[in-house]
Amino acid sequence: MTNVVTRFAPSPTGHLHIGGARTAIFCWLLARHYGGRFHLRIEDTDLLRSKQEYTDSILASMRWLGLDWDGELTYQTQRADVYSRYVDKLLESGHAYWCDCTPEEVEAMREEARQKGLKPRYNGRCRSRELGPGEGRCVRLKTPLTGKVVFDDMVKGRIAVDVAELDDMVLRRADGMPTYNMAVVVDDYEMGITHVIRGDDHVSNTPRQILIYQALGLPVPTFGHVPMILGPDKQKLSKRHGARAVIEYQRDGLLPQALVNYLVRLGWSHGNQELFTREELIEFFDGRNLNPASAAFDPAKLEWCNAHFMREMPLEELARLVAPFVKETGLGDLPQERLIPLCEMFRERANDLKAMAEAFRPLLVPADELSYVEKDANKHFTDAGKEHLHRLAPIFAACEPFTSESLDAALNAYVADNGLKFKQVAPPLRTALMGFMGGSHLKDIMAFLGRAETLARLQRAAG
């Protein structure tokens, strides 16, 4: 395959959702794999529901996911005259006709068909009336009376539909605007699109669009219909399932490469490989091995995937990414040199940036504001426990320099010299430092805290 050109064509009536994001990723990957082009087209012909803020949001999400597009953005509303020209061509060639049936009349026809148990459709009343242009008139396609429309879908294989199932669809509305199917065909043709990858819900539109391509005498692109993403309960994804827009995952502290990796594996596979670098994705994604069955979204696996990338990424980068979350958590602005050791201590203990930032809290509040988990405090701040803290304080105070290594040595010496077991000393110390039985290595915690904070915590806990 050479000269692959794909496009992602969202309509700006909402934020970019994970379903759309996955479609975009597939389109982007296919283009990048074959060294082709990937275009972005804003399908904003629904004037009532389209909003600029949604376009902005979608673009922001695309950038965040790292899906760069080629060339300029296309807005359908700016191309009304282009679509009209193509409709006129169809009128001239006899492939389309004017219709003055009102929407109410058409609805009556459909209702009548429904009553008879037939497929609801326009009955072709104006098909041979030879009407000309006029107020309130739309233009319809003169659908062939017999035959089948057949196409080979990249994911579903051969699909065949009898034209008898299709009615004479509207190409240009009474207000002069093109309908979706008309605009899509014209745009895809003019943009040179070779592969149309889109959601499953468009399969039934495909035969209609192919009919338009044929009437126009244009080459038909290759189609690939990816199944929709279901909720964890196998039901249609909805607000009930929590976060669905990629912007929400971004706000929750997910890494874009994790979301991309997870989404791409939902419906596509490369043997048993689960984790991919972006380069591998581009190398392996050739448009094959797409699963025709719909997949359920599994938040747990997404988390696992995210945790993986957090552990793999350079600390400096992780520190930079977590900074805004630390600030948002109310822990203030921290310099990189403070953030890096924190990330090193907690990256393996958090599944996302937000949770990691929250895990920093015990180490960032002053000793007297540290909150204790009651259960742990009661259990470990015993007389014996406090005694250890009392005796440890001067030992740590004497550590010079106050580093992870010297603290570790001092703590080990204390345990050994007194014939103790680590289990006797570590729990009260940990609870004094963290407020609960969790966190990273004691030596690292103390080194990060510094001498004054460490001693203040021991003193407070020892009473």
- Within 310-369, the residues that bind RNA by CB under 7 A are 311, 348-349
Scanning residues 197 to 256, which ones bind RNA (CB under 7 A)? Answer: 200-205, 227-228, 230, 234-236
By C-beta, is 336 or 384 nearer to RNA? 384
By C-beta, is 122 or 325 nearer to RNA? 122
Does residue 455 interact with RNA by CB under 7 A? no
Q: Which residue has the tokens 């960032």?
A: 364
Scanning residues 17 to 56, which ones bind RNA (CB under 7 A)? Answer: 43, 45-46, 49
* Choices 26-34, 54-62, 78-86, 132-140 (CB under 7 A): range interacting with RNA: 132-140
Using alpha carbons, select from 7, 171, 9 the residue that is nearest to residue 76: 9
Candidates 5, 6, 8, 11; binder of RNA (CB under 7 A) is: 11
Scanning residues 154 to 183, which ones bind RNA (CB under 7 A)? Answer: 156-162, 165, 167, 169-170, 173-175, 177, 179-181
By C-beta, is 204 or 336 nearer to RNA? 204
Does the active-site annotation cover 239? Answer: yes
**Residue 109, Cβ density class (10 Å: 0-12 exposed, 13-18 middle, ≥19 buried):** middle
* Choices 15-23, 56-64, 302-310, 364-372 (CB under 7 A): range interacting with RNA: 302-310
Candidates 23, 257, 261, 440; binder of RNA (CB under 7 A) is: 440
Q: How far is the CB of 3 from RNA (least distance, A)?
A: 24
Q: How far is the CB of 45 from RNA (least distance, A)?
A: 4
By C-beta, is 176 or 333 nearer to RNA? 176
Scanning residues 63 to 122, which ones bind RNA (CB under 7 A)? Answer: 76, 99-103, 106, 110, 114, 117-122
Catalytic: which of 89, 119, 239, 327? 239
Scanning residues 392 to 411, which ones bind RNA (CB under 7 A)? Answer: 408
By C-beta, is 108 or 452 nearer to RNA? 108
Q: How far is the CB of 325 from RNA (least distance, A)?
A: 18
Scanning residues 275 to 294, which ones bind RNA (CB under 7 A)? Answer: 289, 291-294
| CA atoms of 435 and 6, how far apart (whole Å) | 54
Q: How far is the CB of 250 from RNA (least distance, A)?
A: 21
Using alpha carbons, select from 69, 62, 56, 64 the residue that is nearest to residue 14: 56
Q: How far is the CB of 408 from RNA (least distance, A)?
A: 7
By C-beta, is 6 or 76 nearer to RNA? 76
Q: Give the alpha-carbon dihedral of 379, 381, 383, 386, to 10 degrees.
A: 150
Q: Which residue has the tokens 């607000």?
A: 239
Q: How far is the CB of 437 from RNA (least distance, A)?
A: 3
By C-beta, is 46 or 248 nearer to RNA? 46
Candidates 443, 455, 458, 462; binder of RNA (CB under 7 A) is: 443
Q: How many residues bind RNA (CB under 7 A)?
A: 90
By C-beta, is 68 or 111 nearer to RNA? 111
Candidates 298, 331, 365, 397; binder of RNA (CB under 7 A) is: 298
Q: How far is the CB of 333 from RNA (least distance, A)?
A: 26
Candidates 35, 147, 330, 438; binder of RNA (CB under 7 A) is: 438
Does residue 300 interact with RNA by CB under 7 A? yes
Q: Which residue has the tokens 């009661």?
A: 378
Q: List the 5-8 sheet strands across, edge first.
A: 74-75, 37-42, 5-8, 195-199, 222-226
* Choices 26-34, 298-306, 365-373, 396-404 (CB under 7 A): range interacting with RNA: 298-306
Q: How far is the CB of 448 from RNA (least distance, A)?
A: 13
By C-beta, is 222 or 294 nearer to RNA? 294
Residues annotated catalytic, as ranges = 239
